[in-house]
Structure formats: C-alpha cells, structure tokens
Structure 1
Amino acid sequence: MKRTPPAKTSKAPPPTDRRRAHGASTRREILDAARRIAAADGLEALSIGRLATEVGMSKAGLFAHFGSKESLQIATIDSAWDVYRSEVLEPTTASPPGAPQLRAYMEHYFEYVQRHAMDGGCFFTAASSEFDDRTGPVRDRVFKSTAERSAFLDNVLHDAVAAGHLPKNTDVAQMSFEIMALVTGTNLLFQLYKDPQIFQRARRTLRAMPPPKRSSKGAAD
C-alpha cells in the first residue's frame, strides 16, 4: 500500500529572529514618528522624551534604540534620505536618460513635497535651513544628503547633454544650481500658500529656462 508522505510543516522562526524582526519593526515606527516631528518642528525639537511620548514608549526603551539625541537625529536624517531616495530618485531612474529623467525628477519631487505637506514638505530643505550655520555630526549628515541630491541632478543633466537633449556647451553646474534653487523655492512657497498652482509656475519656469553656457575658459561666467 502506497503511503502518502506527511505534509511538511513550516518551522516557526527561532526566538532570536522574532526578537530581531520585532526590534526592526519598532525602530521603523520610531523613525517614522521622528521624521514627522523633525520635518514639522525641526531636528532640534526631536528629543528622547518627546518621541517616547509620541510612540508610547518609556524613555529607557527609546534610549536603548539610539543612546543619545544626536544619534537619534542622525538616524532620523538617514531614514528621511531612504524615503527621499525611494520616492524621488529611484522612480526618476525608471525613465529614459536625459530630458525624460529631468522631467521625471521634477514631477517626482513635486509629488513628494505634496505627499509630505502636512509634515513640513521637503525634509532636507527644512533641515538645511536649520543647520546651515552649525557644526557637528548632524550638520555633516544633512550636508552629505543634500550633496548626494545635487550630485544626482548633475548626473541627470550630464546624461541630457550626452543624449543631445541639451547643448554640448551647457554649464551643468550652473543649471543644476538654478534647478535646485527653483525646487527649493517651490517647496517653501507651497508650504506657505498651499497653492498647487505654484507647481505649474515652477514647470513653466523650467521649460522657459535657457541652458546656461560654459565660458570659453570652461568655467561659469
């Protein structure tokens, strides 16, 4: 008589793995709340005590995750960068290189700003304004993230030149500066007025923006 083998049963994960998964989930919840506080009120408003109240934990439990206010601030910046990368940068790279990616970058950024309007809009615009005249590890982490954001846009523009979508003598550094100034200003004005027409004005400004040319010496005038 042919016997049917017993069905395989999945083993429950070991207690150590369950604790690790629970700890990671708790940390994500904490950092979600930390981003909201920091984006709305500033990174300096972020404290172990305030965050413990926000997430319903003890100060001791929260301290075990981060150890200090500075470590919490840096972890919050890193978490905000993960959000920015997943909502703006990664979707942009799904478009063809060149002009399509430039347009995609603007659109994904505007969507990001509107999606987080109740939490202060662009996290890095707010953090840059807060820490632009300070020193220390928190300011350095803000600077690193904003520099990576600018470098990403530089690469998009270089690809647009290579694809023939922008003139070969385009001053990429200057154009990148102008676009970053445009999107930063758009974020600030939308946060103040909450008027979606601001994004339409920004789009028209970008379309009308002539590519700046490099000087004959290869540097911006």
Structure 2
Amino acid sequence: MSDPAAVATDGRIRRGDETRRAVLRRAVDLASVEGLDGVTIGRLATELSISKSGLFAHFGSKEELQLATIRAARAIFSHAVVVPAMEKPAGIVRLRALLDGWLAYSSGRAFPGGCFFSRATHEYAARPGTVQEALRDVDQEWLALVSATIDEARELGEVRADVDARQLAYELDAYLDSANMRSLLNGDLAVYDNARAAVDARLAAVAS
C-alpha cells in the first residue's frame, strides 16, 4: 500500500517543479526582450498568478532568479543548437551544424527577443558581479566549442594548418551576433541570409 504522506510529498515536489519550469520559461522570454533587470519576483508573481512568498521559496532573491534564468536559457540553447550539432560527424560538417543551428535558433525566435545571451550580455557586459560572470562563462563556453570544432576540422585536413581556430571562431560568431541584432533592429530576416553568405565565404577561404 502506498504511503499517503509519501504520495502527498511527491505531489508537492512535482507541482513545485512544474511551477519552477513555468516561471523560468516566462523569465527567459521576458529577459530576451526587456533584459534581466526586467525579471523580478514581483512581476513574475503577478503575471503567473503565483504568490511572491511562493516564488521567494523557489529562488530567494532577484539575483538567484536571474542566475536560474541564465541556466534555463543555456539549457534551451543547448537543446536547440549544441545537441543536434554534436550528433553530426566531427569537422566541417559539425561546425556548419553549429553555425546553421545558431542562425535557426535566432531567426526562429526560440526566444521572442532573439538570442537571449546577446540581449543579456549587452546589458551586463560593464556590470561586474555574479550575473556578469555567469554570462561570461556561457560566452566562453560557446566560443571554446566553436574553436575546438575548427581544430577538429583542421586535424581532419578540412581546414588549412595555418588557421588560428580562436580567431576564426571569433569572426564567425561576429557574423551571427550581427544578424541577430540587425534582424531585431530592422525587422528584416534577410540579414540571416547575409550571415550565411559571410560564413560560407569565410569557410571557403580557410578550406584546405
């Protein structure tokens, strides 16, 4: 026979997890448009009809809510871009999958404000602290992944031996970030075609 107390506890945990997921989904969408400073416990409590005390129990402070929002956004990004790319063969095929996946993630508005991390990083780039550090870690993780994938392509003989992987990763990422920003500013998704053309040209220039 099931223990009624255990069943009740499991139910509370499940409801708590569902509430947390709903809060963070709303938080990442909101932050992608208005920035992380727009994400507050009071606002989310009002929009989702949840008590402020209940949200405090989940997050404790605005900063912890912001950090949890960054972690949630990273998970969404990873699922949309990184995981599918890592299923591709190492080298140029995987590199293109990462870049094409990023452009699809941004243009498809996985977040309504475009790339969550572009918005949040511009907001916190000059504001030292735990939130900035969390965003910096995500940025460095992405550039390191692109750079490592370029290194793999070079080892496979698909990229010239003299290519600086870190520099190339920086240049390719700049194309992506530019397309994201200008698509939002001008309301024109054609900039993603410009970015793809720039990526194609740059990769052709370094092909062995």
TM-score, length-scaled by structure 1: 0.87
Q: Which residue of 2 is the match for residue 30 of structure 1?
A: 23
Q: Is the 8 A contact 1:49 1:59 kept in 2?
A: yes
Higher RCO by CA contacts (8 Å cutoff, separation 6 or greater): 2
SS in 1 for 2:159: coil
AA at the equivalent of 2:180: N
Aligned residues: 204
- Alignment match, 1:15: 8
% identity of equivalent residues? 35
2-side partners of 1:24 and 1:64: how far apart? 12
In the alignment, what sits opposite 2:140?
147
Letter in 2 for 1:142: L
Distance 2:164 2:150 in 1: 10
Post-superposition CA distance 1:10-62 (Å, at most 9, x none): 99972222211111111000000111111110001111111111111111111
Q: Give the helix-richer structure, 1 or 2.
A: 2
Quick check: 1:123 aligned with 2:116? Answer: yes
The separation in 2 between residues aligned to 1:176 and 1:193, in whole angstroms, is 26
- Provide TM-score, normalisation by structure 2: 0.92
1:165 aligned residue = 158
Deviation at residue 193 of structure 1 after TM alignment? 2.3
* Structure 1 gap segments, 5+ residues each: 1-8, 213-221
Q: Are 2:161 and 1:190 equivalent residues in the alignment?
A: no
Tell me the amino acid that sits aligned with residue 121 of structure 1: G
Q: Aligned letter for 1:203? A: R
User: Structure 2: 5+ residue runs without aligned partners?
Assistant: none
Give the drift of 1:195.
2.2
> Retained in 1: the 8 A contact 2:172–2:199?
yes
Please report the RMSD computed on the Cα atoms of aligned residues, expressed in angstroms.
1.9
Instruction: Give 1 or 2 for the bigger CA radius of gyration.
Output: 1
1-side partners of 2:154 and 2:137: how far apart?
26
Structure 2 residue aligned with 1:6: none
How much has 1:188 moved relative to structure 2? Answer: 0.5
